């Protein structure tokens, strides 16, 4: 095992002896990481990451997972400016730490690369493909730095949910790798479920991705695209103000100037898991609820939801004091492949109550594809090709179907022009649409 000297040139052969893991971890700590661990790119849990990593840095062989903890009270604050400042400052810090590690390794002749903690991302093919180069959560879990909680975030055994993550890709093997945690710090107290303003987290573990994306990430990506289109579609300043309030416009400016703001992240704020965090919860659960959870759930704030969604029903029932702000979905299909993939992310189980049907979709044209969609007992399955006996056959030109999904053309026009044909009860198409409101 070896770690090349500071004088070594940038020509280290990829077949050289494995690097000393202890030296790399010490470099990470010296550069400011609160915790760190190494994992091989060959780890079975990282199979979904290899294509993205390979496209960005084909030489990668080992991954250095980094953890930097956030200050808890700012994250818990109902004042979103305070909470978001903590996210941004910690994010900048871990990006700087990863960059410093790469510099230290490079000076020793070891090739390495540091993708962003979050932004900027690769948006060339968004949303058909994810924007991040590597999932830091998946890497950190494989490296034994925590386990995913009910809220879909990594929980560190010591720092709990109050962490941000990054990954350094290293073009060399290492002589030792970490083991995954043999326990999950998440004890399913379900405070994250109680605090989520849009009900994206369900008690049974289901995650409504589209609800979280639409509300919490309204200042990001798809939400920002909808904001720009609201401007373009407005006839005048007065017409625009009917769609977007003055405060929201100023918030967009703040996001552009200081970094995009999260509207919630309450699931992290209320999480009591982690050795450093759990003491207050264990000492007095009632006080923990009053001090940490209640200020967030009681907050009067706009909640961004799409009409006809489970999230809209949840806000009206659970948080009637919060202000519902109707918006378009922050996720939109720009390809048939994206539509088929995205169904699993936008499916609304509550709107599928009582529906049991098998759909055969046939898309023609440049984006030709065949798929089977099964909706039964409020659950969804999307299969490649045509399987099972269909209750409804849907045949459509791919580009026309995408225009319909993006509200550029009506369903009636698709039927009139022959771009859409059905074989089976039309009511099943209406029932299908209710499961995927946009």
Find, among 165, 178, 136, the residue nearest to 24 by Cα. 178
- What mean pLDDT is predicted for residues 358-383? 97
Contacts of 434 by beta carbon, 8 Å cutoff, 6+ apart? 308, 348, 351, 352
Distance CA 343, CA 391 (A): 19
Q: Is residue 11 predicted with pLDDT exceeding 60? A: no
**Do 68 and 163 form a contact (C-beta atoms < 8 A)?**
yes
Cα 359 to chain centroid, rounded: 28
Q: Is residue 8 predicted with pLDDT exceeding 70? A: no
Cα 377 to chain centroid, rounded: 26
User: What pLDDT, in 10s, does the model give residues 135-158?
Assistant: 999 999 999 999 999 999 999 999
User: What pLDDT, in 10s, does the model give residues 300-357?
Assistant: 999 999 999 999 999 999 999 999 999 988 888 889 999 999 999 999 999 999 999 9
Find, among 204, 176, 180, the residue nearest to 190 by Cα. 204
- What mean pLDDT is predicted for residues 225-240? 92
Q: Is residue 12 predicted with pLDDT exceeding 50? A: no
**pLDDT at 5 (0 to 100):** 54
**Do 294 and 317 form a contact (C-beta atoms < 8 A)?**
no
Residue 279: band (very low, low, confident or very high) from pLDDT cuts 50, 70, 90: very high
Portion of the chain with pLDDT greater than 70, in percent: 95
Q: Is residue 9 predicted with pLDDT exceeding 60? A: no
**pLDDT at 13 (0 to 100):** 47
Q: Is residue 129 predicted with pLDDT exceeding 70? A: no
Distance CA 224, CA 370 (A): 32
> To 10 degrees, the CA torsion angle through 167, 168, 174, 175?
-50
- What mean pLDDT is predicted for residues 360-373? 97
**pLDDT at 105 (0 to 100):** 98
User: What pLDDT, in 10s, does the model give residues 172-193?
Assistant: 999 999 999 999 999 999 999 9
Higher-pLDDT residue of 164, 328: 164
**pLDDT at 2 (0 to 100):** 62
User: What pLDDT, in 10s, does the model give residues 395-413?
Assistant: 999 999 999 998 899 999 9
Find, among 162, 186, 138, 194, the residue nearest to 268 by Cα. 162
- What mean pLDDT is predicted for residues 78-101? 97
Cα 82 to chain centroid, rounded: 22
Find, among 159, 163, 53, the residue nearest to 115 by Cα. 53
Pairing of strands 323-326, 302-305: parallel
Burial string for 235-258 (b: 16+ CB within 10 Å, else e) reads eeeeeeeebbeeebeebbeebeee
**pLDDT at 333 (0 to 100):** 85
Q: Is residue 104 predicted with pLDDT exceeding 50? A: yes
Note if the pTM is more than 0.85.
yes
Higher-pLDDT residue of 125, 203: 203
Q: Is residue 127 predicted with pLDDT exceeding 80? A: no
Average pLDDT, the chain: 93
- What mean pLDDT is predicted for residues 54-65? 97
**pLDDT at 383 (0 to 100):** 97
Q: What domains can you pick out in the chain, each with its CATH number?
A: 21-170 (3.40.109), 199-225+251-326 (no CATH), 336-434 (3.30.1050.10)
**pLDDT at 3 (0 to 100):** 63
Lowest mean pLDDT among 13-17, 19-23, 65-69, 139-143: 13-17
């Amino acid at each position: 095992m070896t770690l090349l000297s500071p004088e070594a040139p940038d020509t280290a052969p990829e077949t050289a002896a494995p690097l000393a893991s202890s030296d790399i971890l010490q470099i990470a700590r010296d550069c400011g990481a609160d915790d760190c661990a190494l994992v091989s790119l060959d780890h079975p849990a990282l199979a979904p990451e290899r294509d993205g990593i390979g496209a960005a840095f084909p030489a990668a062989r080992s991954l250095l997972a980094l953890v930097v903890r956030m200050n808890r009270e700012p994250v818990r604050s109902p004042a979103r400016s305070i909470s978001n400042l903590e996210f941004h400052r910690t994010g900048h810090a871990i990006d700087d730490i990863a960059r410093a590690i790469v510099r230290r390794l490079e000076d020793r002749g070891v090739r390495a690369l540091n993708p962003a903690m979050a932004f900027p991302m690769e948006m060339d093919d968004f949303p058909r493909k994810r924007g991040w180069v590597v999932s830091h959560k998946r890497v950190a879990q494989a490296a034994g730095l925590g386990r995913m909680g009910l809220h879909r975030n990594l929980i560190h055994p010591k720092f709990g949910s109050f962490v941000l993550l990054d990954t350094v890709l290293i073009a060399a093997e290492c002589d030792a790798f970490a083991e995954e945690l043999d326990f999950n710090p998440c004890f399913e107290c379900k405070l994250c479920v109680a605090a989520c303003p849009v009900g994206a987290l369900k008690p049974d573990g289901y995650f409504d991705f589209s609800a979280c994306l639409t509300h919490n990430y309204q200042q990001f990506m798809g939400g920002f695209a909808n904001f720009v289109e609201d401007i373009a579609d407005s006839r005048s300043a007065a017409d625009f103000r009917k769609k977007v309030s003055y405060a929201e416009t100023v918030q967009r400016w703040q996001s552009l100037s200081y970094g995009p703001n999260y509207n919630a992240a309450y699931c992290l704020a209320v999480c009591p898991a982690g050795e450093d965090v759990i003491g207050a919860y264990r000492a007095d659960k009632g006080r923990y609820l009053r001090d940490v959870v209640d200020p967030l759930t009681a907050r009067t704030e706009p909640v961004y939801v799409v009409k006809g969604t489970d999230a809209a029903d949840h806000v009206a029932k659970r948080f009637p004091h919060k202000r519902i702000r109707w918006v378009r979905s922050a996720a939109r299909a720009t390809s048939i492949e994206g539509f088929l993939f995205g169904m699993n992310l936008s499916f609304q189980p509550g709107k599928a109550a009582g529906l049991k049907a098998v759909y055969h979709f046939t898309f023609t044209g440049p984006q030709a594809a065949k798929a089977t969609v099964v909706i039964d007992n409020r659950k969804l399955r999307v299969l490649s090709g045509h399987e099972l006996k269909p209750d409804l056959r849907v045949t459509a030109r791919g580009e026309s179907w995408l225009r319909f999904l993006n509200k550029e053309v009506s369903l009636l026009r698709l039927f009139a022009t022959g771009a859409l044909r059905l074989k089976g009860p039309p009511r099943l198409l209406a029932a299908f649409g209710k499961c995927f409101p946009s």
